[in-house]
Amino acid sequence: MVTAATHTRDELEQALKKVTQERDTLHVLYQKSLETIRKLERGILGPKPEKLPNDAQLSMDILRLMMGETDAEVKDVHKPLLSDPDEPEEAQEKPRPSGRKRKPKSVPRIEIEILPAEVRLGGLLAYERIGEDTAEITEQRRGGTFVVCYRRPKFVRKDRKKSPSKSDPTGALPPPHPTVLVAPAPELPIERVSAGPALLARTVVQRFLDALPLHRMERIYAREGVPIVKSTLCGWHESLSELVVPLVDAMHTDALHCSAVLCTDATGVRVQAKDRCAVGHFFVVIAPLLHILFFYTKKHDSGAIDTILSGYSGHLVADAHTIHNNDSERQLRKEAIGRKNWLFLGTHEAGHINARFMSWPRNRVLELAPAYWKQTLEETDAQARLEANVLRRLSLDLDPL
């Protein structure tokens, strides 16, 4: 009997302790609720319609910061204390996506697997597959836009040493780490960008030769199922323009030293600025039968001409108003058409990028930069790299090997 009474007393004490803790918790919640109601009545919290106007609300916001309130607490205040079981629960806020956006599933895909050269020569039976690296590249070919999904499997030899080496016969040290074989990724014009060379070339032609504004290009690619925003296109072209600089510089040098006559003209263009648009200038310089060069300058003065024609000795046909349909006027018309479509430049740097892409050699590209281009193309290593580039072969409808 004594044991049973003692057991019952212990249970009652534990139950009393539990009830006391619950009471204290509810009391704290009750006090917080009262404080929240007081703050709501004063206009410190709540949605915009409940806030005080003008300076009074600013004072309330400062007081809110002093009291240490957070936006999370504000949201918690407006949640109902009791929810109706018949109503569906509100969807939780999804975290903002991070990383690169996935390619739409509606775009055609080509899946390829790139094996290391050692594995192709030795055969798959001699190697163990331990994983793979995957990537997706958006490309362009005659049939439209598509996505290249390429996998690069990782291999180790099956006959690798797993036993202790001769230098450590006791086996106290772990076996040496095996050599992992993986094929190199395809070469891209811009590193860490999921766009192939053919797609990049198409965007350059559309913007600078077809004079399409960025917002129209954005809509075109959206219709094709490959959304590309304007800022992405600008970033691509800025990076690609750096690759064109050696070629344009070589054209410029060749024109100054090899042409007896140069034709030149200029036109103005608006440049976006904070207060009011600034004015920039496009110059065209034509070396007959050799090159057509475009330059961008902030000013239209003798200093700009001296920079463009520095070191030139020969005849100059400048702004020939009396000669109708002259070559410089016709070439400068390309910039005028583009200016009519895109209205203004975003920055002065955009003017330099435009001029680089508008300049292009006509029939002597193999004799110009990058340094010794013709010799580079004749090298077997360069030809092998071109032939081995998977993205190039796919855009030309060739077997990806």
Reported as half-sphere exposure (CB side, CA atoms, 13 A), residue 15 has a value of 6
Q: pLDDT value at position 232?
A: 92
Grouping H, G, I as helix, E, B as strand and the rest as coil, residue 114 is coil
Q: How many CB atoms lie within 10 A of CB 43?
A: 18
Environment class of residue 394 by beta-carbon count within 10 Å: exposed (0-12), middle (13-18) or buried (19+)? buried
Chain-centre distance of CA 268, in angstroms? 31
Q: Which long-range contacts (CB under 8 A, 24 or more apart) does 335-338 make?
A: 335/267, 335/269, 335/282, 335/284, 335/294, 336/267, 337/211, 338/208, 338/211
pTM of structure: 0.63
Reported as half-sphere exposure (CB side, CA atoms, 13 A), residue 160 has a value of 14
H-assigned helices in 43-193: 54-66, 71-77, 117-122
Q: How far apart are CA 243 and CA 238, in angstroms?
A: 9
**CA neighbor of 369 nearest in space, from 258, 187, 243, 259:** 243
CB 113, CB 153: distance < 8 Å? yes
Please, what is the angle between helix 230-258 and helix 214-223, to 10°? Answer: 120
Averaged pLDDT of the chain: 76
Q: pLDDT value at position 15?
A: 86
At residue 270, φ and ψ (nearest 5 deg) are: -80, 145
Radius of gyration of the chain (CA): 35
CB 193, CB 236: distance < 8 Å? yes
Q: How far apart are CA 183 and CA 134, in angstroms?
A: 12
Q: pLDDT value at position 203?
A: 92
Q: Which residue has the tokens 């534990």?
A: 14
Q: pLDDT under 50 in the chain at which residues?
A: 1-2, 49-50, 71-85, 89-90, 321-324, 364-367, 369-371
Q: CB within 8 A of 391, min separation 6: which ones?
A: 137, 139, 148, 186, 188, 196, 197, 198
Q: pLDDT value at position 77?
A: 44
Identify residue 176 by its one-letter amino acid code.
Answer: P
Q: pLDDT value at position 361?
A: 59
Identify residue 45 by its one-letter amino acid code.
Answer: L
